[in-house]
């Protein structure tokens, strides 16, 4: 089925470890983004991309890196995990213009201990 695939679904990290959250979409969407979801705060934008080779920061980019080498993939890297990065992470994609709304992945639940 066409859509947005996120891996892993669950992850536990120790403080200071690094890891990459994977996101892939097969809908040829130009726009991809990463959000984190925390209780009572809704979704906050971390980074986004409007095409291969183009990325930009969102509302809460500190501690995260992204790259977009292909249209399909948009990995999110945690450089040195901190307990404050414990959250649920969602990848979303859309055609530019967003008139169709976003297609979301099923999320990655990350715990940093």
In the complex, the residues that contact another protein under the rule CB under 8 A are 4, 31, 33, 35, 40-45, 48, 50, 58, 90, 92, 96-107
Which of 14/42 has CB closer to another protein? 42
Considering the complex, what minimum distance in angstroms separates the CB of residue 96 from another protein? 5
**Residue that has been written with the tokens 């925390």 in this structure:** 38
Considering the complex, what minimum distance in angstroms separates the CB of residue 16 from another protein? 28
42 CB burial (10 A radius; 0-12, 13-18, 19+): exposed
Considering the complex, what minimum distance in angstroms separates the CB of residue 102 from another protein? 7
Which of 2/14 has CB closer to another protein? 2
B/e letters for 83-96, b = 16+ CB within 10 Å, e = fewer, are eebbbebbbbbbee
Nearest to 5 by CA among 85, 67, 90: 90
Which of 8/16 has CB closer to another protein? 8
């Amino acid at each position: 089925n066409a859509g947005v695939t996120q891996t892993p679904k669950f992850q536990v990290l120790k403080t200071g470890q690094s890891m990459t959250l994977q996101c892939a979409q097969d809908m040829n969407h130009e726009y991809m983004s990463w959000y984190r979801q925390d209780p009572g705060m809704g979704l906050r934008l971390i980074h986004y991309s409007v095409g291969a080779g183009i990325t930009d920061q969102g509302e809460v980019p500190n501690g995260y890196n992204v790259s977009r080498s292909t249209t399909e993939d948009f990995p999110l890297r945690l450089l040195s995990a901190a307990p404050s990065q414990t959250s649920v992470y969602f990848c979303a994609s859309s055609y530019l213009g967003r008139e169709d709304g976003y297609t979301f992945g099923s999320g990655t639940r990350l715990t940093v201990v």
